[in-house]
Structure 1
Amino acid sequence: MTRSADTTGTSEPAPPPAVAGRASLWHVLTVVVVAYSAGASLAFVGFGAPAIVVLFLPAGVTLSALVLNPRRRWPWILAAIAVTEIVVDVSQGMSVRSASGFALANTAEPLVGALLLRRNVPGPVDLRRRRDLLAFLGCCVVAAPIVGGAIGATTLVASVPVPWPQAFVSFWAGDATGVLTVAGCVLAWRYSPGRSGPLGWVLSVGSAVAATVIGFWPQGMPLFYLPIPVLFALAFSRPLVATLTAGLATTVTANLMTSTGHGPWAALDTSEQLITMTLQLFLATTILGAWALAVGVAERDRARSDTSVERAARLRLHALQVLTTDLAKAATSEEIAQAIVREGIGLIADHGSVALAAAGSTELVLWTTDGRPADMTDRYRGIPAGAATPHSDVMRTGRPVIHQTRTEAVAAYPHLEDVYRTLGVNSGMCVPIDGDAGALGSLAFSFHREHGADAGVIAFAVALATLSGQALRRAQMYERERDATRELQQALLPTLASGLPGIQVCADYRPADVAHQVGGDWYDVFAVPAGRVGFAVGDVVGHQLAAAAAMARLQSALRILAQTAPGPAGALDALDRASTLIPDAGTATVGYADYDPATRLLRYACAGHLPPLLVTGTGAEYLWGGRSLPLGVGRAARGQGELVMPHDAILVWYTDGLVERADEHIAENMQRLADAAGHLTAPDAATLCRHLLDRMAGAEARADDTAILCIQFAGPADAQPYSWRGDAPAVDRPAAR
């Protein structure tokens, strides 16, 4: 409030009280008493006797102390204020009775203001929000000073012959301005501080003070409006707290200039009450105008920020949905890791990596985002699980590792300083990918800025790790099943015998069922009596476990039957009868041949199977002899073809997955296979096998299993020259199935 016996004046702003709930009560009381007594003592310096004080800054000190402290401390703060008020007033020559009345006014006023403000704004008071600003102005600047003004004016008129309405208006104006400037500034510092360097604060406050001095120095020249554009410019370009601090400096400077006889208000020939009212009204209007502009700018910036955040959130959500789809499609751990570094980490970080525990190894396998030097990527492709790295520590402890500055990161991992410097990393974090029995891996995020791992980023990183963990658990289950079925398939397929006379063999098998890696296609090479070598290729309808089981039984049966059969036709005839006892073996196709290294005689027969391809130095041709129906289809007699193999000829026997395509004619693909084999110069069995698979199958998804068997017939030709035995139809003859 404002009061005087014979003097009025202004004072420098008291330093903001350190009255947060963390400070001790004695610390709070000391700061409040010092700030209040300084402002109250300075309030006695005024225009001259007798007068009403224009500005009472301690009103803002008391209100700030109550708002910033819990209610259990309010009685102590108010008691300290009352005692301080009485001591200061008595020391200035007032009676104890008058001093007690002013003490009552200066404790009742902030109590009413704090209660009203807390009722309307129960949480922190953010003066950048319009709702909180209106509550502060209505409760603390308008309503509460009415209480203090009424008590103070009543106390004053009891000792000084001043009209009560004039005393009330002066009290109210002085206290309202003190609350507006001091409490507004303190609450802005406490609840919505701005980030600015010392030079910024010096320029803000200095420009406001300079404009006020220049504007209030001359009396005959109307320049008092100069602080207005300065404060409005600060409101538009600087944080609210800078604007309010500059407004406090403007208010104090204007009152000091007026009290020393400078400016237009000092030259007014009117009552002190009118001077008080008009000066304070001008200052309050100026500060409130700048304040309103600052709030508007802050709301605009928040709206822009919210829009930007919302847009970024939408983009991040869309990218996360795309990543979720890719993770759902990814079948292996490697594909999942690649999807995460390609589409996940970049959503929140500048760099990053994924580390997964390698099966059967003590190393962690690393996948990194793009933009790293190649040598760095190669150097950290695999890291020992026990090494001192964020990934290793997270995998070992299962807890996140967060470093908000490069200094923290280098202190923890000094050997990675060059990596951080090269990538421009100034903060980072690493979170675990949890599995059922410990961490499956970890995700690392690196940022060019310091303190990049804020709460939102950490929450997103944890969500991404959870999503990755779900995908990895599914992938590892699939990989275990795939490995088991692959081992089953390899167990079902024969191990090609080594040391068989006169031949070199290469074979390959690619199932269409990539989920189980098993199928019904098969090949076999084995010894038969009289020094001959038998080899077979077969195809059971289907490409899953049932087909694989039927394939294994047919393969075993053929091996046994071939030991006593007079030739390939007899072996297939016996296999036809045996197939009736094998589930799912009906309509299977089989190609079987035997070879006598001594005579170089090849005998072959096809039960519905595609013809073998003979590759020689002069080209490639299909062997169409010995054809008959598939197993289990009719009882027609089976024939066989014969020929003497030339030196280094290669016989290619395959299943239909190599040449059948849904949108292409099989004859065209068989011709393409023959061309691919015939154009290769002097191949060996292994080279030809790889070449044909690459040309005919490649990396494309297959609708059917594919098996290929290449047999190279080595050694000198000690029999008749190359010749055909059996029918040899044209190459475009459709295969019997």
Structure 2
Amino acid sequence: MTRAGPRDRPTWLVVVLVAIAYTVGAQLAFVVFDATSIVVLFLPSGVTLSALLLCPARQWPWILLTVAVAEVTVDVSHGLHLASALGFALANTAEPLVGAVLLRRFVPGRLDLTQRRHLLAFLGCCVVAGPLVGALVGGTTIAIGQDRAWVEAFLPFWAGDATGALTVAGTVLAWRHRPPPGAAPAARWALAVLLTVAVTAVSFWPQHLPLFYLPIPLLFWFGFQQRLAITMTAGLAMTVTANIMTSVGYGPWAALQGPIAFKTATLQLFLAVAVVGACLLTVGVAERDSARSDTYAERAARQRVAAVQSLTAQLARAPTSAAIAAAVAEGRLLGELCVVALADPEDGLVHTAEHRALARAARTGRPALDGDPANGRIELGVPVTDHDGPVLGALGFEFAAGSVVDDDTIAFAQTLADLTAQALRRARLYEREVSAARQLQQALLPAYATGLPSVQVDAGYRPADLTHDVGGDWYDVFHLPGDRIGFAVGDVVGHDLAAAAAMARLQAILRVLAQSAPGPAEVLAGLDEASALIHGARMCTVGYADYQPRTRQLRYACAGHPPPLLVTAGHGEYLWDGRSMPVAVEPNSRRDAELVVPADSHLIWYTDGLVERRYESMYAGLDRLAATAGAVVREGAGDPCRTLLDRMAHTGPATDDRVVLWISFNPDR
């Protein structure tokens, strides 16, 4: 198949060629094959299919319109009613269109029938599926217009169109990918056609002597000796000759008793199966010959190239030094065993005593061989160096006794070592970055106050970016004047270093505001003003509460943040009061709410990443959280926060950070 391009034939030329070829084929169906009695071999189905597969999609409407006009014209000229002609036009345009569309889906590039997968796709889409669609329409048209049983109309229509698509389109496509024949190829082609026509005519001459199978050995001989184009051409010649002989009264199918639909369908199927078998044999023999023509060295070279490409792809995906070492060792690209030793990050030495050649290569920085090639195993070691700098590690390979470890083998081993070195340099930079980011995030998250009266606090944080542990979600617990306790949870837009920096500044300002503000509403109002000075803090959400242990009074407010969950006696209830818009959204009236916390209850405050899922409402996530938290309380989990995070984990990659602040109110503390 081809796509539109500068070498496409002009549309007017395509239309003319299709009109001529289709009309000639349709006339053959009427004049030679007697299509007025029942549908027989229909060569134009292959004409239309070939045109669609060889032309760009922008020319398809013109091709199909040309086919429809030609079909109606020929049908009406032979005495068919206009309604029947229109039905056949629909069948003979829908059929190749379905086949071509399906084939382009399964073989999106250039079609080459000499490849087994392409040939099978062509047979399935264009010889089976497409004609089935055409037969559904055409068989129905015949059944209605000629008062025939639907099955008697459907089977020969499908068989005739399928055989026409197979032989005509198969021949055109097979020759399409061959160079123009010179004198010798043209002579072979002509001889194959003449020989096939002669053998088929002779074998289909007698009616009661079973010789009709004689063309099959000839086709299979072509399959062993010739290219697919020759085999396809011979199959087309056999199919046309057999149908002509049958239509004029010769051969076993002409004398066969029973409905004409049965005779027509079985003849086309017999011919189609013979052609398909010969084509599959041709492709199989070509594949065998191609495999035999490869030398052992060429196969080994291709295998090594493929192995290196595969290893390169694995190394590109491996994020850490350990993952890189595992990919190289498990690849088994050379020898019977591969050992990877990496330099210690502390002292830079490669510690190994099990592989002598590997140890020597790491120590000297040069390839090393060890062992007796004749009587024992051979060890090869190659260093993994950083641009002629420090040794990052070494690779060790083991070979069976009698193996030849030549210069090419050593060079390939060194290539593997160089690939490993490139990956290790990248991995070590990544590991240093991950370590720095993790330390930064842990430094930014507060160490919440301990020894708080009448409460137990547990907190958990899981970023969306698991590789860096960096995000904009945060929590805080701290002392307030008057023996009160402050709780805060916030969510800054983003999950990167910028979000983490904005989070740290916002959290620090909230702590300062909470020391003097009379209540949560005033704390949030102060954040509105302060956020103007913090890049990235606008539109963040914050939940803040203060708690007085003596009176068990909890005052809380939410600036666009999900409501806190209060779990009492294993039953969860969301606190929906005290809500207002996110930080720095104007105008914004802040308000708070209060309640007396029941004994032995739990307050769970979280960020929206815990409950939000794609393609699911927020309320479904809230219901899931309430049920899960209630179960965790009833079970008395020793680490409730971690348990909750595990059970609320996403089934796929997380898209947002998740924070959980779990406060247990215990009057005995």
Cα distance in 1 for residues equivalent to 2:452 and 2:620: 35
The alpha carbon displacement at 1:452 in A equals: 5.2
Q: Which residue of 1 aligns with 2:386?
A: 435
Partner SS, residue 680 of structure 1 = helix
Counterpart position of 2:140 = none
| C-alpha deviation, 1:342, in angstroms | 2.7
Identical pairs, percent: 53
Unpaired segments ≥5 residues, structure 1: 1-302, 365-383, 409-424, 718-737
- Quote the residue 2:624 is aligned against: 672
Q: CA deviation at 1:468?
A: 0.9
Of residues 547, 567, 571 in structure 1, which corresponds to 2:519? 567
CA contact (8 A) 2:348 2:392 kept: no
Residue type matched to 2:339 in 1?
S
Tell me the CA shift for residue 390 of structure 1.
4.9
Q: Which residue of 1 aligns with 2:297?
A: 309
Q: What letter is aligned with 1:580?
A: A
CA contact (8 A) 2:341 2:352 kept: no
**Distance change >3 Å, CA 631–CA 467, structure 1 → 2:** same
Cα drift, residue 466 of structure 1: 0.5
SS of residue in 1 equivalent to 2:632: coil
Q: Which has the larger radius of gyration?
A: 1
CA contact (8 A) 1:504 1:685 kept: no
- Pick from 323, 328, 332 the counterpart of residue 335 of structure 1: 323
Equivalents in 2 of 1:391, 1:602: separation in Å?
67
2:87 — aligned with what?
A: none
Answering whether residue 349 of structure 2 is matched by residue 397 of structure 1, we say: no
SS in 1 for 2:411: helix
In structure 1, distance between residues paired with 2:312 and 2:477: 47
Contact in 2 for aligned 1:349/1:447 (Cα 8 Å): yes
Residue 684 of structure 1: CA displacement? 6.0
Report if the CA contact (8 A) 1:431-1:462 is conserved.
Answer: yes
Distance 1:394 1:500 in 2: 60
Task: Tell me by how many angstroms 1:477 deviates.
Answer: 0.7
Q: What's the C-alpha RMSD, in Å, of the aligned pairs?
A: 2.8
| Selected match of 1:355 from 316, 341, 356 | 341
Residue of structure 2 aligned with 1:694, choices 642, 646, 654 = 646
Counterpart residue identity of residue 613, structure 1: L
Equivalent residues in 2 for 1:57-68, closer than 5 Å: none
* 1:571-611 Cα shifts (integer Å, max 9, x gaps): 11111121122121110100111222222222221100111
| Consecutive unaligned residues in structure 2, runs of 5 or more | 1-290
SS of match in other structure, 1:563: helix
Provide the C-alpha distance between the structure 1 equivalents of 2:520 and 2:637, rounded to a whole number of angstroms: 23
Distance 1:360 1:614, change over 3 A: farther
* Distance in 2 of aligned mates of 1:561 and 1:389: 66
| 1:634-670 deviation digits (Å, cap 9, x = unpaired) | 2332222323333443322221222222333222222
Change (3 A) 1:407 1:544: same
Q: For residue 657 of structure 1, what is the aligned residue in structure 2?
A: 609
Q: Quote how far apart the aligned CAs of 1:632 are.
A: 0.8
The aligned counterpart of 2:565 is 613
Give the superposition deviation at 1:515.
5.3
Rounded to whole Å, the distance in 1 between the matches of 2:361 and 2:566 is 59
Match of 1:168 in 2: none
Pick from 487, 496, 503 the counterpart of residue 535 of structure 1: 487
CA distance in 1, matches of 2:444, 2:300: 54
Contact conserved, 1:684 with 1:712, CA < 8 A, in 2? no
Report the CA distance shift for 1:360/1:648 in structure 2 as closer, same or farther (over 3 A).
farther
Write the distance in 1 (CA, Å) between the matches of 2:372 and 2:568: 70
Q: Compared with structure 1, are the counterparts of its residues 403 and 549 closer, same or farther at alpha carbon in structure 2 (3 Å cutoff)?
A: same
Quickly say closer, same or farther: Cα 1:389–1:656, change in 2 above 3 A.
farther
1:372-387 aligned within 5 A = 384=351
Post-superposition shift, 1:559? 0.4
**Alpha-carbon distance between aligned partners in 1 of 2:344 and 2:641, rounded to the nearest angstrom:** 32
Structure 1 residues 226-267: Cα deviation after superposition (integer angstroms, max 9, x where no partner):
xxxxxxxxxxxxxxxxxxxxxxxxxxxxxxxxxxxxxxxxxx
- Rounded to whole Å, the distance in 1 between the matches of 2:306 and 2:336 is 19
Shift, 1:524, TM fit: 1.1
Change (3 A) 1:643 1:406: farther
1:478, CA displacement in angstroms?
1.2
Correspondence 1:545 to 2:497: yes
Is the 2:510–2:523 Cα contact (8 Å) retained in structure 1? yes
Q: Which residue of 1 aligns with 2:576?
A: 624
Contact in 2 for aligned 1:521/1:540 (Cα 8 Å): yes
User: 1-side partners of 2:599 and 2:348: how far apart?
Assistant: 51
Contact 1:648–1:712 under 8 Å retained in 2: yes
Q: Which residue of 1 aligns with 2:507?
A: 555
Mapped to 2, the partners of 1:635 and 1:619 lie a distance apart of: 36
User: How many angstroms apart in 1 are the aligned matches of 2:458 and 2:368?
Assistant: 52
SS in structure 2 at match of 1:679 = helix
SS where residue 465 of structure 1 aligns?
helix
Note the C-alpha offset of 1:527.
1.0
TM-score of the aligned structures, taking structure 1 as reference length: 0.48
Q: Match of 1:646? A: 598
Partners of 2:347 and 2:442 in 1: CA distance: 24
Matches of 1:465 and 1:673, distance apart in 2: 50
Q: In structure 2, the residue corresponding to 1:347 is in which secondary structure? A: coil
User: In structure 2, do the counterparts of structure 1 residues 642 and 467 end up closer, same or farther at CA, with 3 Å as the change threshold?
Assistant: same
Separation in 2, partners of 1:579, 1:477: 35
Query: Are the structure 2 counterparts of residues 403 and 617 from structure 1 closer, same or farther at C-alpha, using a change threshold of 3 Å?
Result: farther
Match for 2:379: what amino acid?
G
TM-score between the two structures when normalised by the length of structure 2 = 0.52
Q: 1:392 to 1:683 in 2, by over 3 A?
A: farther
Residue type at the aligned position of 2:372: T
2:443 match: secondary structure: helix
The answer to whether the 8 Å contact 1:508/1:709 transfers is: yes
Note the C-alpha offset of 1:699: 8.1
Give 3-state SS (helix, strand or coil) of 1:635's partner.
coil
When residues 407 and 317 of structure 1 are mapped into structure 2, their CA distance, relative to the original with a 3 A threshold, is closer
Q: How does 1:171-320 map to 2 (within 5 A)?
A: 307-320=295-308
- CA gap of 1:427–1:613, structure 2 versus 1, over 3 A, is farther
The structural deviation recorded for 1:561 is 0.1
Q: Find the aligned partners of 1:350 and 1:527 in 2 and give their Cα distance.
A: 65
State whether residues 427 and 452 of structure 1, in contact with CA within 8 Å, keep that contact through their aligned partners in structure 2: no
- Cα pair 1:506 1:686 within 8 Å, conserved: no
Is this contact kept in 2: 1:689–1:708, CA < 8 A? yes
Specify the SS of the correspondent of 1:591.
strand
SS in 2 for 1:580: helix
The aligned amino acid for 2:377 is N
Note the alpha carbon deviations across 1:650-700, whole angstroms, 9 max, x for none.
Answer: 322221222222333222222222222222254668622212222222684
Structure 1 residue 620, shift from structure 2 partner: 2.4
- Hey, what's the Cα distance between the residues in 1 that align with 2:551 and 2:366? 72
Counterpart Cα distance in 2 of 1:459 and 1:665: 59
Q: Deviations over 1:539-591 (max 9, x none)?
A: 11122222222111110100000001112122111111211221211101001
Change (3 A) 1:464 1:549: same
- Number of the residue aligned with 1:712: 664
Note if contact 1:506-1:685 (Cα within 8 Å) is conserved in structure 2: no
User: Which residue matches 1:138?
Assistant: none
Structure 1 residues 342, 661: closer, same or farther in 2, change over 3 A? farther
1:404, 1:450 within 8 Å by CA — same for their partners in 2? Answer: no
Q: Tell me the amino acid that sits aligned with residue 464 of structure 1.
A: L
Deviation by residue 1:409-436 (Cα, 9 ceiling, x = unmatched): xxxxxxxxxxxxxxxx822222221125
- Tell me the CA shift for residue 392 of structure 1: 4.4
